[in-house]
Amino acid sequence: MGAIVLLGSVFLVVVLMAAVLVLVVRRSWRSARVTSMVAGVIVIAYAAALMVFSVTTPVRSLTMGEWKCFDDWCASVTSVTRTGDSVLVSLSVENQGRREQAPDSPRVWLVHHGVRDEVIVAGLSSRVPGGSVRQLPEIRLVSPASDSPQLVVTEGGFPSRLVIGDDNSPFHPQPGWPLT
């Protein structure tokens, strides 16, 4: 739904800006100014809706084994073993689609005390056959239990940051798995 709203808004702004160009060529300055103001109001309204939705979305924690999906590609923390400050995490990825696919810019983050540290995971961005699950190599992390750390997986490049309701949009809380 959010992607449709984004595409509709972009299409409408592009049409209005094309109309502004036509009005400028015809030297209809007043109409060009009003039309460009309408396009600006649409952009401002969309940005406001994006921010309000992101700020008002509640923070969500995922449970062990729960899948976090991005269309057909999903990720899940399947086990966490803590020994002192050392954490061993097992991560699985799943392709719910029919054809083999690779995720779009997947990243894994260790979040503790509001700080996000990127975690390199071997095989995270590799192609997954359709309808299958792949267990990735275990990840060894160092994080004191007192930090209440979380593991967060994100996926998606630039356009997803502009989609209302997408986990990648600005100020949107990122659901993650607690590593306690």
Query: For 103-139, how does the pLDDT look when each residue is reduced to its tens digit (9 = 90+)?
Result: 888 999 998 887 889 999 999 999 999 999 999 999 9
Q: Over range 62-90, report the average pLDDT.
A: 91
Query: Is the pLDDT score of 146 beyond 80?
Result: no
| Residues 121, 139 contacting (CB under 8 angstroms) | yes
3-state secondary structure of 33: helix
Q: Over range 157-177, report the average pLDDT.
A: 84
Q: What is the pLDDT of residue 114?
A: 78
Query: Is the pLDDT score of 158 beyond 90?
Result: no
Q: What is the pLDDT of residue 41?
A: 96
Q: Which two tokens stand for residue 143?
A: 């994080």
Secondary element (H or E) of residue 136: none
The pLDDT tens digits of the residues spanning 7-40 come to 889 999 999 999 999 999 999 999 999 999 999 9
Q: What is the pLDDT of residue 165?
A: 82
Q: Over range 77-86, report the average pLDDT.
A: 89
What's the number of CA atoms in the CB half-sphere (13 Å) around residue 108? 25
Residues 6+ apart with CB under 8 A from 86: 140, 141, 142
Q: What is the pLDDT of residue 167?
A: 81
| Residues 154, 107 contacting (CB under 8 angstroms) | yes
Residue-wise DSSP of 7-28 = HHHHHHHHHHHHHHHHHHHTT-
Q: What is the pLDDT of residue 177?
A: 93
Residue 43 pLDDT grade (very low, low, confident, very high; cuts 50, 70, 90): very high
